[in-house]
Amino acid sequence: MDALMQFIYSGLTVGAVYALVALGFTIIYNASDVVNFAQGEFVMLGGMITVFAFDAGLPLPLAALTAIVATAAIGVALNKFAIEPARGAPVVSLIIITIGASILIRGASQVIFDKQLHRLPAFSGDDPIHLLGATLLPQSLWVICGAFAIFIGLWLFFTRTLLGKAVLATANNRLAAQLVGINTGFVMTLSFALSAAIGALAGVLVTPITLVSYDVGVGLALKGFAAAMLGGMGNPKGALVGGLLLGLFEALTAGYISSQYKEAVAFVVILAVLFVMPQGLFGEKKTERV
């Protein structure tokens, strides 16, 4: 029972990160119908820039803020210089563009930073908390609570603010949104900035636990992508549930079956979900019009 609790904690921690990556996918996908394979690089950048800013003498909160703002700017640049010029291109081209962007960012980080693993100090120390018969690192609480805070904040943004509603309207019907005077170009920019910032924040939160290096993005992008698919592409609630479920699956598999195959099981689960319900857990069923 204690072991199970332990696995659940670690599953929720890593799942919260997947959920944030999946949320980043979702925001961009809703605004532009693009699946951004460079999403994992945002997480990497968040961690990397914080580490280097912190090492350069900036206080941690300021270093984290720098990282988030810089990553958001990179997200905006990605949209401006790679996605917007290719508007209307087939899915395969868009997949290649965003994979290209992810390789580009990774390559640049390798040159600008280095190839080493880096760590950040935990925000509230390393003394484990005893809870329900198992232990939990304070940093895990930061990750889980941070993820929930972001989800709640976004939910408020989308439902309570005019700007948030404009983003939703654009996701729903781009042309109609333009017709009622929404600047959809700005909505795109905002979505990329938001998505990159969320990714960076996830990177800041998780780096004290998992460490960071220039190449952690690919794995995270794949997991986040998988989580988004599991929940149903384009649905923020799906991103949250998909991410947490995926994290739990992984932790339980690692704990009870085989740590080598924990990632394999995640993909097996996703394949199974796609076969049984191709729209994911919360995706809408679409009828093709002819």
Instruction: Please give the residue ranges that form the binding site for another protein (CB under 8 A).
Output: 35, 81-82, 85-86, 89, 91-97, 99-108, 110-111, 218, 222, 225-226, 229, 233, 260-261, 263-264, 267-268, 270-271, 274-275, 278, 287-288, 290
For residues 143 and 229, which CB has a smaller minimum distance to another protein in the complex?
229
Q: Smallest distance from the beta carbon of 258 to another protein, in angstroms?
A: 8
Distance CA 69, CA 81 (A): 18
Answer whether 168's CB lies under 8 Å from 231's CB.
no
Q: Smallest distance from the beta carbon of 270 to another protein, in angstroms?
A: 6
Q: Smallest distance from the beta carbon of 136 to another protein, in angstroms?
A: 29
Q: Smallest distance from the beta carbon of 274 to another protein, in angstroms?
A: 5
For residues 1 and 175, which CB has a smaller minimum distance to another protein in the complex?
175
For residues 80 and 174, which CB has a smaller minimum distance to another protein in the complex?
80
Take residue 266 and report the two structure tokens written for it. Answer: 């995640």
| C-alpha distance from residue 236 to each of 27, 148, 184, 227, 286 (Å) | 8, 12, 20, 11, 18
Distance CA 195, CA 100 (A): 18
Take residue 37 and report the two structure tokens written for it. Answer: 């394979």
Take residue 179 and report the two structure tokens written for it. Answer: 């017709």
- For the chain, what is the total number of helices (H) and then of strands (E)? 11, 2
Among 113, 120, 96, residue whose Cα is nearest residue 45: 113
For residues 175 and 260, which CB has a smaller minimum distance to another protein in the complex?
260
Q: Smallest distance from the beta carbon of 107 to another protein, in angstroms?
A: 3
Residue 285 three-state SS: coil
For residues 142 and 225, which CB has a smaller minimum distance to another protein in the complex?
225
